[in-house]
Amino acid sequence: MIILKSQDEIKRIAEACHIAAEALENIKKIVSPKNTTLELDRFAETFIVSKGATPAFKGYKGYPASLCTSVNEEVVHGIPSAAKRLKEGDIISLDVGVYYKGFYGDAAVTLPVGKINDTAKRLLVATEGALYQGMKSAVIGNRLSDISSAIQDYVETRGFSVVRNFVGHGIGRELHEEPQLPNFGSPGEGPVLMDGMVLAIEPMVNAGTWEVVILDDGWTAVTRDNSLSAHFEHTVAITLDGPKALTKL
Ligand code: MF3
Ligand code: CO
């Protein structure tokens, strides 16, 4: 069942989302070749706690950190580590979840570390573009798979592939609610989008094959062909005034 949110509930989800967005904005400033991914995680956690909120991922199904840090061929769910130091030319996806006063917010960005090559640049632009393209279809009266299909078309037109193994999701009083939102599919299928739906839209895009492999840590998803991967995510409310990205500052 898809839980519709009242305007007041959306306001409260937006508060959690605002903390998530601010956390990403602040972590951005310390993403550089001298930092380890664990330092980014510590920074994120300190920031979230300083706002009176709780890191939503820590302890979720046993996930050990507050942030997911997925570097280069890592697609999602990269575990922060003191052994993983960023280097010039890397790309890093930062995914953060915040729980605040009963509601969740979820957001991700992928950032360049110093100067990156042209493929990496095009991949970041295409993945963020795909998120915004998907959001344009997040309007009342459309069907859920109109979002999926818009994302897939946008990505494949640019010569990249969408990951099939992970999906976007409803969000609210739970981190993951119905519906699941794939980043691929034909248009015109699934539930009709309604006022008060809140969706985490999160395209994961690979430079090569869409196939992924999970590492022995049980979490880190990497591309099967070791090609680069990027990930952007907004928590989006579907409203009478159109889609609202609640995790946008
Ligand atoms: N944004 C991701 C999601 O919606 C991140 C989850 S990480 C986990 O599933 F650790 F919480 F699983
Ligand atoms: Co999510």
Q: How far is the CA of 204 from the centre of ligand 1 (A)?
A: 13
Query: What are residue 55's DSSP bridge partners?
Result: 98
What is the chain's mean pLDDT, rounded? 98
Q: What is the pLDDT of residue 238?
A: 98
Q: What is the pLDDT of residue 92?
A: 99
- For the chain, residues with pLDDT lower than 50 are none
Q: How far is the CA of 116 from the centre of ligand 2 (A)?
A: 26
- In ligand 1, the atom with minimum distance to the C-alpha of 168 is 4
Q: Is 132 in the pocket of ligand 1 (CB under 6 A)?
A: no
Q: Which DSSP symbol is given to 60?
A: G
Contact 183, 163 (CB under 8 A): yes
In the β-sheet with 177-181, what is the strand arrangement from edge to edge? Answer: 177-181, 168-170, 198-201, 234-239, 242-245
**Residue 111 CB neighbours (<10 A):** 17
Mutate to test the pocket of ligand 1, among 57, 96, 178, 234 (most ligand atoms within 8 A of CB): 57
Q: Is 41 in the pocket of ligand 1 (CB under 6 A)?
A: no
Q: What is the pLDDT of residue 27?
A: 98
Q: What is the pLDDT of residue 1?
A: 96
Q: What does the pLDDT look like over 103-157, one tens digit per residue? A: 999 999 999 999 999 999 999 999 999 999 999 999 999 999 999 999 999 999 9
Q: What is the pLDDT of residue 188?
A: 98
Q: How far is the CA of 57 from the centre of ligand 1 (A)?
A: 6
Separation in Å, CA 235 to CA 48, 51, 181: 17, 19, 12
- In ligand 1, the atom with minimum distance to the C-alpha of 202 is 1
pTM of model > 0.95? yes
Nearest alpha carbon to residue 230 among 132, 92, 81, 130 = 92
Mutate to test the pocket of ligand 1, among 95, 178, 231 (most ligand atoms within 8 A of CB): 95
Q: Is 60 in the pocket of ligand 1 (CB under 6 A)?
A: yes
Q: What is the pLDDT of residue 119?
A: 98
Q: What is the pLDDT of residue 45?
A: 98
Q: Is 95 in the pocket of ligand 1 (CB under 6 A)?
A: yes
Helix, coil or strand: residue 28: helix
Supply the residue whose CA is at minimum distance from atom 9 of ligand 1: 176
DSSP 233-244: BEEEEEETTEEE
- In ligand 1, the atom with minimum distance to the C-alpha of 233 is 1
Mutate to test the pocket of ligand 1, among 45, 166, 171, 175 (most ligand atoms within 8 A of CB): 175
